C-alpha cells in the first residue's frame, strides 16, 4: 500500500494492525487477479492463433482467384479485423506484466507470417495445378502485408496510450 494511503488511513483513526490487515487482503486479491489474468491471457492467445489459422484458410480461395490489389485489400481487411480482436483481447486483460505483452507481440506476428506463407504457397500450388488464369502471388509480400495489417491495430493502440500518458 502506498505511504500516502497509509497516512490517510491513520488520520482517519485506523491503527497499524487494521492497515496491515487491509494490505494483506489487497495483496491476496491482486495475486488471485493476476492468476486469472494469466489464464485469460493464454486463452486469448490460443483464440487468436486459431483465428489466424481460420483467416488464413478462408483466404485460400481469394488467393486463387483475386488479382494483386483486390487481394491485398481483402487481406488487409481480414487481417485488420483479427488484429483488432487480438488488440481488444490482449490489452483489456488487467494485471499483465510487460513480459506477457512482449510475448504476445512477438509470437502472434511470427505465427501470422508463418500461416500466410504456408497458405500462399498452397494457393500458388492450386493456381499452378488447376491452371487457373491468375498469376502466382509473391509469398513474402503477401505474408508481410497480412502480418503488418494484423499487428497495426495493436501498434496504433500502444502509440495512442503513450501519447495519452505524456
- Global pTM exceeds 0.75: no
- The residue with greater pLDDT, 71 or 45, is 71
Domain ranges of the chain: 37-165
Q: In this model, does residue 164 exceed pLDDT 90?
A: no
Q: Where are the alpha helices (DSSP H) in the chain?
A: 3-11, 16-65, 68-91, 98-129, 139-165
Per-residue pLDDT reduced to its tens digit, 55-79:
888 888 888 888 888 989 999 998 8
Q: In this model, does residue 36 exceed pLDDT 80?
A: no
pLDDT level of residue 95 (50, 70, 90 thresholds) = low
Q: In this model, does residue 109 exceed pLDDT 70?
A: yes
CA atoms within 13 A on the CB side of 16: 0
Amino acid at each position: 500500500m502506498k505511504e500516502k494511503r497509509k497516512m490517510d488511513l491513520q488520520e482517519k483513526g485506523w491503527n497499524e494492525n487494521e492497515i496491515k490487515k487491509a494490505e494483506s487482503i489487497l495483496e491476496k486479491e491482486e495475486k488471485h487477479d493476476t492468476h486469472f489474468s494469466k489464464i485469460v491471457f493464454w486463452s486469448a492467445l490460443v483464440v487468436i492463433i486459431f483465428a489466424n489459422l481460420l483467416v488464413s484458410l478462408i483466404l485460400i480461395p481469394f488467393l486463387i482467384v483475386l488479382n494483386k490489389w483486390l487481394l491485398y485489400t481483402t487481406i488487409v481487411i481480414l487481417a485488420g479485423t483479427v488484429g483488432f480482436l487480438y488488440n481488444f483481447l490482449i490489452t483489456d486483460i488487467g494485471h499483465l506484466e510487460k513480459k506477457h505483452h512482449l510475448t504476445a507481440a512477438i509470437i502472434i506476428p511470427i505465427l501470422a507470417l508463418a500461416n500466410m506463407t504456408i497458405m500462399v504457397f498452397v494457393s500458388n500450388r492450386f493456381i499452378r495445378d488447376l491452371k487457373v488464369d491468375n498469376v502466382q502471388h509473391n509469398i513474402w509480400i503477401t505474408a508481410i502485408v497480412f502480418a503488418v495489417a494484423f499487428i497495426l491495430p495493436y501498434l496504433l493502440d500502444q502509440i495512442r496510450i503513450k501519447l495519452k500518458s505524456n
